[in-house]
Amino acid sequence: MSQKDDIVSKEAVRERKAARQQRSGETSRGNDATQLTDEEGEEVSIVIHKMNAGSKGLISSGLEEKYFKSLDEALMEVRVEADNITKPKIQKIPFMLRDNDNFKKYLEPRVVSIGPYHAKDSNLQLSHRIKLKLAALFIRDGGIDRNQLYETIMKKISNLRECYANEATMCYDNNIEELAWLFLVDGCALLHYMIICDQKKDRDDTLKSLKIKKDHMTFVQQDVFCLNNQLPYELLELLMGLHKENDKLKNSMENFILNSINAPTDLFKANKQNYKLVQIDDM
């Protein structure tokens, strides 16, 4: 063998060693290598590549784009829908029911408006002065700081608006203070009206001093339960929490509701722990 052939042979050996070292490194990264010998007695390595757990393998980019992307989109929809789940709202009754004379007495107030739906009804403006008197008595008798009361309602105004369908409070978008004032007056007036109705003595004298006629009392009692004439129970809880006679006030509310629907009061009170006051729209 010539010196030149010897040099080439040594270079070939070095190249084969380098190739084996490289393949050895690949094996250490998770590939399997099988050592074989060729016809000339040289060692040959065959590397078998392992498929990593996160690799796409035989899935083409086209298949992923066509099918798997739809799974990702569906999962995103599920997440969005879960985030958008809301509690029941005080909805405006559909027109087809409002236009039915048989349903009107259950939907539209005849004497007093409560809440935003009928607040601007010109036929109900005469009762606004009475609501102011009732609200003033509630604040005075309850020992409530009226500035604190208004500020508390303003802090909760977004939550209170969420209790209604969007159309109910849209007209107050640029005047949130007016909506807060409406909640204050209507909420306080309603609760004090319930207190008066629960009085065993002096009820007639109190109503007379407020210039509320007995026949109006019947209509007011019906108006309180009209479906389009409601306040969020969250608001009433807030107002009761500021009243110095909170527990007594809750009892007055319960008695008012039970007497209005002619429910068996004794049975309710005996099993009071099994009952919970809920807003009509929550049922």
Asked if 281 and 88 touch (Cβ cutoff 8 Å), the reply is: yes
Neighbours of 127 (CB within 10 A): 22
What's the CA gap between 60 and 54, in Å, rounded? Answer: 14
Segment 264-274 shows an average pLDDT of 56
Q: Where are the beta strands (DSSP E) in the chain?
A: 32-37, 43-48
pLDDT band per the 50, 70, 90 thresholds, residue 261? confident
Q: So what's the pLDDT on residue 84?
A: 59
Q: So what's the pLDDT on residue 206?
A: 84
Q: Name the β-bridge partners of 43.
A: 37
Asked if 155 and 209 touch (Cβ cutoff 8 Å), the reply is: no
Domain map of the chain by residue range? 95-282
- Dihedral sign for Cα atoms in the order 249, 251, 252, 253: positive
Q: So what's the pLDDT on residue 52?
A: 54
Q: So what's the pLDDT on residue 107?
A: 77
Q: So what's the pLDDT on residue 135?
A: 96
Residue 267 has pLDDT above 90, yes or no: no
Asked if 227 and 280 touch (Cβ cutoff 8 Å), the reply is: yes
Q: How many CA atoms are closer than 13 Å to the CA of 91, on its beta-carbon side?
A: 10
pLDDT tens-digit readout, 21-72? 555 555 445 555 555 455 555 555 555 555 554 555 566 666 666 777 888 8
Residue 243 has pLDDT above 90, yes or no: yes
Q: So what's the pLDDT on residue 168?
A: 84
What's the CA gap between 43 and 53, in Å, rounded? Answer: 31
Under DSSP, is residue 34 helix (H, G, I), strand (E, B) or coil? strand
Of 248, 280, 281, nearest to 261 (Cα)? 280
Q: Where are the beta strands (DSSP E) in 124-208?
A: none
What's the CA gap between 70 and 237, in Å, rounded? Answer: 46
Reading the block at residue 161, the tokens are 């608006």
Percent of the chain residues past pLDDT 70, beyond the cut:
63
Q: So what's the pLDDT on residue 283?
A: 41
Residue 192 has pLDDT above 80, yes or no: yes
Q: How many CA atoms are closer than 13 Å to the CA of 33, on its beta-carbon side?
A: 16
Residue 164 has pLDDT above 70, yes or no: yes
The winner for highest mean pLDDT among 22-36, 169-183, 212-226 is 169-183
pTM of the model: 0.63
Of 77, 76, 108, nearest to 92 (Cα)? 108
Q: What is the mean pLDDT of the chain?
A: 76
pLDDT tens-digit readout, 99-145? 666 777 777 888 899 999 888 888 888 889 989 999 999 999 999 99
Among 15-24, 28-37, 145-154, the minimum mean pLDDT is found in: 28-37
> Could you give the angle at the alpha carbon of 114 between the alpha carbons of 232 and 228, nearest 5°?
75
Reading the block at residue 65, the tokens are 């784009």
Asked if 114 and 231 touch (Cβ cutoff 8 Å), the reply is: yes
Asked if 108 and 219 touch (Cβ cutoff 8 Å), the reply is: no
- Dihedral sign for Cα atoms in the order 159, 164, 167, 171: negative
Percent of the chain residues past pLDDT 90, beyond the cut:
26
Q: So what's the pLDDT on residue 240?
A: 95
User: Which backbone phi and psi does 59 adopt, to 5 degrees?
Assistant: -80, 120
